Homo-oligomer: A and B are copies of this chain.
């Protein structure tokens, strides 16, 4: 199964949850392990649209079943942004440090009671020529006032999950998988993946 991502840390999470999902005979490969193909840019207006395009393109180009995730953080005081622009919020794609620093600066005057946020992951699954499916997982919490922790990636150091005092970057990988938006979305996909792997 192809996982359509070049983000090593995201790929790790997807591989971890998929491998532990109990699907037999599953081999997970990343985009860097298959022949290059023209990837559609992520310009959709929703996480779901971007995830589906990535999964369908990956399946079509490789002939493999393909899982893709599009995810980000929705901040209440920013009307739900950065949203689909999370990875390029600072204007440069994939600069986690610049993105988190900008978000903290934008919220500099925003008081605690207005710092609600949620992580969102849309996970799509496609087989060549088949109809894709897409599911969504959410992880509610708040935006901290400074980064904490070395785990995870993206906005994890400034996100404090609901009923936690630690940031998402201070959770162990298994704690994060159990609670996170991506873990939730992938578990919703597992039933569909099991059906596929079993040839049903």
Contacts and interface: CB of A to CB of B under 8 A. Distances in A.
Contacts of A79: 78-81, 83
Contact of A106 (B43, B85, B108, B109): B85
Interface string A82-103: 0101001111100000000110
A109 B41 contact: yes
Interface residues of A, number: 26
Nearest to A79: B79
For the residues of A in contact with B, the DSSP-based class is: loop
A55 to B, nearest CB: 19
Contacts of A101: 91
A108 B104 CA distance: 22
Contact of A91 (B42, B45, B81, B105): B105
Interface of A: 41-43, 45, 77-81, 83, 85, 88-92, 101-102, 104-106, 108-111, 114
